Amino acid sequence: MKKSQPQVVIDKNKQISGAAAAELGAKLIRQAIKQRGRANIIVATGASQFEMLQNLIKAKGIDWTKVTAFHLDEYVGVSITHPASFRKYLWERFVSQLPLPLAGFHYISGEGNPQAECKRVGELIKKHPIDVCFAGIGENGHLAFNDPPADFKATAPYLVVDLDEACRKQQMGEGWFKTLAQVPKKAISMSIRQVMKSKAIICTVPDKRKAQAVKDNLTGKVTPMHPSSILQRHKAAWCFLDKDSASLLEKA
């Protein structure tokens, strides 16, 4: 296991990496509950989070009834029953699998008025300072659905964003949609500034297809063209990689 700054942890495969990310996240959640009697978290979706979530739901010593959760993003116009729905994903892989019910999970709905939904969940998250944000890095370097060039200055907690072609191809490539035409062109996304308000950020980023994005965002300049590069400015951010996603870092 290798560590560097920003805090990067490299393991031999995504099973070990996901378990390590979950272990740290669980520790931070327990600490928040011990200190304040409650914890607020953000939970990410996508194929990169499978192993992390499988381990987080089994973490010992967490009173989930004292945890309030939000999620990062949701497609505009996708129903909760659609296979690609992030609400469906989080219910099936996280919320319904916990040993105790959460204090609350504030789902994002993209089925109604997206601007009104941004305002609704934005007001909620303002009342719940985030202790731990679980996230990933997209193939195009996006953080949440903030595709390049990302808006680093937007102050609203949630935004309606346009999804670029690279992002949409990733969603199809991961099997959430059968064709590119089926992938929505808009989404509701947590803003960069809101993600950065989290006390701790844990990014889980496995697989070879993420290697270039990992290198660009963790070793290059901080720029809206590499949205996740903003993590270099966070005081408590970790990136958990496997050998494949870290392959270009090791050659750098």
Per-residue pLDDT in tens (0 to 9) along the chain, 252 residues: 444 467 999 999 999 999 999 999 999 999 999 999 999 999 999 999 999 999 999 999 999 999 999 999 999 999 999 999 999 999 999 999 999 999 999 999 999 999 999 999 999 999 999 999 999 999 999 999 999 999 999 999 999 999 999 999 999 999 999 999 999 999 999 999 999 999 999 999 999 999 999 999 999 999 999 999 999 999 999 999 999 999 999 654
On whether the CB atoms of residues 240 and 21 are closer than 8 A, the answer is yes
Residue 143 DSSP label: B
Please give the tally of structural domains in the chain.
Answer: 1
Inter-residue contact 17 to 242 (CB < 8 Å): yes
Cα–Cα distance measured from residue 50 to residue 14, given in angstroms and rounded to the nearest whole number: 9
- Record the pTM: 0.95
In terms of phi and psi (left: phi > 0; alpha: psi -120 to 50; beta: otherwise), the region of 117 is: alpha
pLDDT of residue 1: 47
Report the length, in residues, of the chain: 252
Alpha helices in 97-139 (DSSP H): 114-126
Q: CB neighbours of 234 closer than 8 A, spacing ≥ 6?
A: 6, 196, 198, 201
**CA separation for the pair 124, 24 (Å, rounded):** 26
Asked, for residue 1, whether it belongs to a domain, the answer is no
Q: What pLDDT is attached to residue 31?
A: 98
Note whether residue 62 is domain-resident.
yes
Could you tell me the CATH number of the domain that includes residue 112? Answer: 3.40.50.1360
pLDDT, position 6 = 77
Domain presence at residue 110: yes
Residue 26 maps to a domain: yes
Q: Which domain holds residue 206?
A: 6-251
Instruction: For residue 187, give both structure tokens.
Output: 């989404």
Residue 40 lies in a domain: yes
Could you tell me if residue 175 is inside a domain? Answer: yes
